[in-house]
Chain A
């Protein structure tokens, strides 16, 4: 095991000229030397080991894309250094690009008007993949990703799921060490998402590829990543395992309970006061956030109270007709923490 991606003290400032107001604003803006500095990324450092599967999450505009663009050599950092397998992508962009697979979910890297297979021929040329090697790899990828069904179809006629599979295969044709995936499941239906996730799992588990994934889909993160990094306002605010992140921020679950007939809430000293849960040795607390008609809304932290224990206690208040549990949205929670 060695470090695959090393990032040290990474900064990125963007300069945008101050837009003038009033007469001739356009021309005056053109000649102004006044600039507004925006710090998109502030002093980020991390290391990703070979074979790691890391999720990179954070709200829009937090600096995710800027970081990825600096890692792939698209943007030059204002300060700090990046090393991909020991090589700096800003000094040796082409050498690093040769070893990288990059997939932008929003944009295809394939040739829009040509059949899928033509794109692979071009890419093989570009990445200097020998013909025999190309055939072998395409056979393998074709099987894993089911590419054969749309082999001859022009890319513009593919469905989103097909296009994404084709794009992922394209990024792997030259057998890169590292794969950067930017929103690979965006806009896909459940089945397509599942097949992409299965493939990524295989890729990481069996082929040992190092993968860095940015996504807004928390299921992606939970099912795939071993580690997560959270970025907010340009700063890395968390780095570690998902379990530890959960411990740190807790996982408030909302339980909606519908009673049949009348029920009796325990006496509460004030609205939203935590209720102590003491039952058969289980301890914890939860709170009632709303009670109207036959419905009661309960919020509990799963770290502090098990859902089963809560239900057992609530069962004593009346006859339960229906229960609905709302799983917490990971992203919401991350928002709430900052």
Chain B
């Protein structure tokens, strides 16, 4: 186990070193990402400011949902980088190379082309700070929300990773998975940035059962922000994260055994 952790660390470091060869590209990319992040948040802020609270959710609460989703996603995309880009490996046959190495393919894939995401991290943290601060000042929550939130972010990252992994594994049959990823990853994550009560019940069930992104931020927030249910809710979310991860890994392994490679 220690060997894998060490190796993962070495590979991530090499990945970042490679990227630093193109410093200008890194700086530009980070700047652009920051702009996109600011624009995204401004849009939500403007909408909320105009309409005030939505279905009983205050601006600070929506900011919280938004921030937790951003941070979970950042964590997932940083530490499992190229799982999201499996399609490229499948179409070019690059996966062959990873399969000739004495390490799990998933670990190899996770450590390829690692991208540091300082813009996303900064924006997520800032919004989270602002939300928590506002809610604490209003006396809605206490400092205990902080450790619960951190736990929720990590569990959320695991859930997003599991969804991404399962989607990628479909690629072993379909090869082209970009469209599917738009549905299961991008669109779902964007939708879950808002309180799920906004949506019709079929969509809410979809975001909780079919693609369980609702468990990343919405479900934990019911307890952390509103004191509903109880602390066990966070534990249940963590448990659920472990379960979907297990399922996704099993599916991934099965998919890998069906890998067809490309012609030479």
Contacts and interface: CB of A to CB of B under 8 A. Distances in A.
Interface of A: 14-15, 30, 60-61, 64-66, 69, 72-76, 93-95, 97-98, 100, 102, 104, 106-107, 109, 111-114, 118, 121-122, 125-128, 154, 182
Interface residues of B, number: 28
B50 interface: no
A126 B260 contact: no
Nearest to A113: B18
A295 B241 CA distance: 81
| 5 closest residue pairs by CB, A with B | A113-B18, A65-B264, A97-B102, A98-B102, A74-B99
A52 B19 CA distance: 42
Interface string B67-104: 00000000000000000000000000010110111111
Interface in B163-195: 174
Interface in B36-68: none
Interface of B: 3, 6-7, 10-11, 14, 17-19, 21-22, 94, 96-97, 99-104, 174, 257-261, 263-264
B260 A14 contact: yes
Contact of B97 (A14, A95, A109, A118): A109
A94 B264 contact: no
A166 to B, nearest CB: 15
Given A94-B103, A125-B6, A112 B18 contact: yes
Contacts of A109: 97, 100
A126 B99 contact: no
A69 B96 contact: yes
Contacts of B3: 128
Contacts of B17: 113-114, 118
Contact of B14 (A61, A102, A118, A128): A118
A104 B21 contact: no
Interface of A, secondary structure class, is: mixed
A113 B99 CA distance: 21
6 contacts: A74-B99, A107-B97, A111-B18, A113-B18, A118-B17, A128-B3
Given A94-B102, A114-B18, A126-B103, A74 B6 contact: no
A122 B11 contact: yes
Contacts of B97: 104, 107, 109
Contacts of B263: 61, 65
Nearest to B174: A30
A182 B18 CA distance: 27
A73 B18 contact: no
Contacts of B258: 76
Nearest to B94: A107
A109 to B, nearest CB: 6
Contacts of A128: 3
A145 to B, nearest CB: 20
A128 B10 CA distance: 13
Contacts of B22: 113
A118 B14 CA distance: 8
B14 A122 contact: yes
A15 B11 CA distance: 35
Contacts of A100: 100
Contacts of B100: 72-74, 97, 100, 102, 109
B14 A114 contact: yes
B96 A104 contact: yes
A111 B257 contact: no
B14 A75 contact: no
Contacts of A94: 102-104
Contact of A126 (B102, B257, B261, B264): B102
A73 B99 contact: yes
Contacts of B99: 72-74, 93, 97
B101 A126 contact: yes
A335 to B, nearest CB: 18
A22 B111 CA distance: 43
Nearest to A123: B101
